[in-house]
A and B are shown apart, each in its own frame.
Chain A
Amino acid sequence: MVCAGIFLVVAGVLTYTIIRFRARRDDVREPAQVYGSNQIEVAWTVIPILIVFVLAMATARVVSAIQNKTAPANALQITVVGHQWWWEIRYPALGIVTANEIYVPVSTPTNPAPTFLKLQSADVAHSFWVPQLSGKTDLIPNRTNTMWIDPRGEGTFLGNCAEYCGTQHANMLLRVIVQSPQDFARWAASQRENATAGAGTAAGRNLFLSLSCVNCHTVKGTGAAGTFGPDLTHLMSRETLASGVVPNTLENLRAWVKDPQVIKPGNLMPDMQLNQRELDEVVSYLSSLK
């Protein structure tokens, strides 16, 4: 607002000057030579200083209001860990570990339920940004940052990594799903469970556990306990694969396991070189992790 006002005034004077003081073709005399005026200089130094002072005070108020807010007792605590190029989401109090999709309860004026986030990084600097919920805060290795969100409406809100973090920075996507408190409780309860392998997936399960998949991925209730890649315990409960690049469909899952470098070139999951049968078995096992 202030900026728009300043622009209109200065641009107005400039336009007037350009039109009013055009050189006429026949006029060869030089205009009056004016060298300046101390009064005017003082005026257009002091007035901007006053404007800046007011702006700075207003900024200070908002900054301290945001940064000095402390978490109320009922606030949901989440830890977000940035990885090249996905998000690890932990709910320490609830014992949940998931990836790339953050579920939080809606906050209403009568029943405020803000979510406080602890932000960390496992490798390089990232930045947490869900534009419709709040500004950015960086995830920096060797450091814990904090921020909070207070979503007032249910729905899905898209976000991105906002600090350049390497090859697939563009596809380090993120979504926040804001639900009613009941739905959120139901989701949390199901996520706490161990993995339940579906019928007829034993071959796939054994194959999965015998491959180096387990070095990077965790499936709760099995021997797979890697932490380098996303937790797969409830893989099929997520909306997307590869940190938001493609929808989580059977077809995409299969393509992803077959060669992750096609869907997200440069990402850190290698092509496991599975043959057709192995691929079928692993995918059928993964797709049973509801």
Chain B
Amino acid sequence: MATINYIPERVSEQEARISLPSKLHEWLVTVDHKRLGLMYIATSLAFFCVAGSFAALMRAQLAFPNEKLVPPDVFNRLFTVHGTTMVFLVGMPFFAGLANYLVPLMIGARDMAFPRLNAFGYWMFLFGGILLYFSYIGGAGLAGHGTAPDVGWFAYSPLTERAFSRGTSTDYWILSIFVSGIGTTASAINVIATVLCMRCKGMTLPRMPLFVWLMMIVSAMVLMALPPLTAAQVMLLMDRYLGSHFFDTQAGGSAILWQHFFWIFGHPEVYILVLPGFACASEIIPVFSRKPIFGRAAMVGATVAIGFLSFGVWAHHMFSVGMGPVSNIFFAASTMFVGVPTGIKIFNWVATMYGGKIRFDTPMLFCIAFIVHFLLAGLTGIMLAVAPFDWQLTDSYFVVAHFHYTLLGGLMFTLFGAVYYWFPKATGRMLSETLGKWHFWLLLIGFHMTFDTLHFAGLLGMPRRIYTYAPGRGWATLNLVASIGVIVQAAAVACLIWNIVRSLRKGKPAGNDPWDAWTLEWATTSPPPEYNFAVLPEVRSSRPLWDLKHPEDPDWKYE
């Protein structure tokens, strides 16, 4: 068994000597899941830098009371585009990219089920994203100014109706999400079809890596959660151009209807964003603890439970709209119950580490920080689920801090962990550990400077989405510290970018399996060839490479 026969021949000399234009052309017309995956990831990281710099501008404006750096209309566009970008053009596509890259490799397939649909999805996402930013030039606002949308990423009606949002900026918001949503849907269908139909011999569903399981669950959630948003957006477009009155309160429409539509998409969306983070952590933590994941079946079950429950909690975003006590109590209770499966996952990750031999390489550091952040975010989430508490804290900076804890502290940390973990596979070169550690510690310090303090600003009554505030309400120092934290975080991201640029050219060669891992993607070369495996693998347990490395004690004996 010592000879792993999945490894293909080396790339021929001829193939290595292709001219640059034809190389670019190859990327443009590619339907290879690995190239598309990398394109997704690179594009979303680019959007991440843009939207991150928007956040930095907002923090600069809020660093001191009554600052005049950014005027109110510009500020409102900044937070609208920041939120929209981070959710639709960073969070979702980054993990669409990872799923694209890794799912076929992990299940021992040669490509996704629908390679061309895959390429179509990517290009829809890219052009949807470009459409959002094009509004800065093309969105005719008042007096012919170009203008980006300024209605918030949640776009509450009736602020989005033509009476209050003139010009075309809101239309750009609708259409860009609409178009990129087509791409997301395509990629979700593709992942499900691939997982169900393309697994290699012996890869039964129970043996599938947790990453693949979670990506499949997320894809199913996407298919269920996106349609309400799309429907609401179509209704809004009809309101704006065809004279319907769904959300037009001046003609008897309902403002709350939009909120229901938006959040029945929006809350599952939170889990759609964060479950891929869980997926990465569930691969990285076992490998660096040198133990299999604790309670595999419970992990899958908990994820399915989160998926179901997440569709029954949406109105906890709406405790303050004046629902009756029965609805408030129902949504408070259902929200708290999401904490149970989430807790199970956290316990299982800790139990995986318990009794292991933990190696603190950069990917693992990010995952440990993720567990702590998600624990805290989950607990502040339970606090917010207590409706009377929420009446005080909703739409305050406490909520801003809470969900940045889940999405930055949770999602972004695992995202970076994933970059460090799979970069060697995708490029054949290691990222520098020294720069990685700099990246991690700077990000950790900056993150806590920014978001720990914002919890307290919220407790002191600072509302969200304000472009300025008066001195004397106790918010100034907290905001200043938060803004300084952003500088530290920016330095951390600079470390990552430099690390990637440097390692692409002179990183240490990675070899096929630098982390001594157990899933199939490590059984082929780094980077894998177009056809992934020379021979399609055959597996007998959930850790096929463990079985190969430890023929004396293989996993399949215990299944």
Contacts and interface: CB of A to CB of B under 8 A. Distances in A.
A39 B255 CA distance: 48
A48 B292 contact: no
Given A52-B336, A63-B332, A67-B325, 12 more contacts: A14-B372, A17-B358, A27-B357, A30-B290, A31-B290, A31-B291, A49-B337, A49-B340, A141-B250, A162-B394, A164-B159, A265-B71
A22 B359 CA distance: 7
B438 interface: no
A280 interface: no
B26 interface: no
Contacts of B164: 84, 123-124, 166
Interface in B465-522: 465-470, 473
A62 B395 CA distance: 21
B252 A34 contact: no
Contacts of A67: 324-325, 328
Given A146-B322, A164-B465, A166-B159, A34 B294 contact: yes
Contacts of A170: 72, 465-469
Contact of A138 (B321, B340, B463): B321
A59 to B, nearest CB: 5
Interface string B380-392: 1011011110111
A163 B155 CA distance: 11
Nearest to B465: A164
A17 B322 contact: no
A78 B371 CA distance: 48
Closest 7 CB pairs of A and B: A135-B391, A170-B466, A131-B461, A145-B322, A36-B295, A141-B249, A56-B333
A241 B336 CA distance: 43
A137 B319 CA distance: 8
B344 interface: yes
B27 interface: no
B413 to A, nearest CB: 15
18 contacts: A14-B353, A18-B368, A21-B289, A22-B360, A23-B357, A34-B294, A35-B558, A48-B340, A49-B337, A59-B387, A60-B333, A140-B256, A142-B254, A143-B322, A162-B394, A162-B395, A166-B150, A170-B468
Interface string A11-28: 101100110011110010
For chain B, which range describes its interface: under 10, 10 to 19, 20 to 34, or 35 or more residues?
35 or more
Contacts of A37: 295
Contact of B332 (A17, A32, A59): A59
Contacts of B344: 41, 44-45, 48
A74 interface: no
A13 to B, nearest CB: 6
A165 interface: yes
A142 B325 contact: no
B322 A21 contact: no
A60 B294 contact: no
B358 A135 contact: no
A129 interface: yes
Interface in B219-269: 249-250, 252-256
Interface of A: 2-4, 6-7, 10-11, 13-14, 17-18, 21-24, 27, 30-37, 40-41, 44-45, 48-49, 52, 55-56, 58-60, 62-64, 66-68, 84, 119, 123-125, 127, 129, 131-132, 134-138, 140-143, 145-146, 158-171, 173, 265-266
B473 A138 contact: no
B159 A124 contact: yes
Interface string B429-470: 000000000000000000000000000000011011111111
A23 B379 contact: no
Contacts of A59: 329, 332-333, 336, 385-388
Contact of A33 (B297, B340, B376, B553): B553
A36 B320 contact: no
Given A63-B388, A127-B395, A160-B466, A17 B354 contact: yes
Interface in B302-359: 320-322, 324-325, 328-329, 332-333, 336-337, 339-340, 343-344, 346-348, 350-351, 353-359
Contact of A7 (B375, B392, B468): B375
B298 A41 contact: yes
Contact of B320 (A7, A64, A127): A127
A3 B466 contact: no
B176 interface: no
A22 B558 CA distance: 26
B290 A48 contact: no
B290 A23 contact: yes
A124 B158 contact: yes
B152 interface: yes
